[in-house]
Amino acid sequence: STAGWYVLLLPPGAGKGIAAVHVADRLGFPPERVIVAGDGENDVPLFEAAMIGARGILVGNSCDALRNWV
């Protein structure tokens, strides 16, 4: 975000992680064939989803909070 902050409005149970798992399942990919990538705190759900078998990649300019979480 260029302003240094962001707001995410999502319905309960929705998010990047659950979306990644859903799309992979719909396409027939097992978790071990999925790769997620992110650079910000809002990508933590992706990396949480990666913990069920997918692989995660931190982008070179990722924020410290995400690096510390991983």
pTM: 0.71
Q: Are 6 and 29 in contact (CB under 8 A)?
A: no
User: pLDDT-derived band of residue 3, with 50, 70 and 90 as boundaries?
Assistant: low
Q: Which residue has the tokens 């995400």?
A: 66
* pLDDT tens digits, one per residue of 17-39: 888 888 999 999 988 888 889 89
* pLDDT tens digits, one per residue of 36-67: 898 988 888 888 877 777 788 888 889 888 88
15 or 53, which is more confident: 15
Q: What is the phi/psi pair of residue 36, to 5°?
A: -115, 155
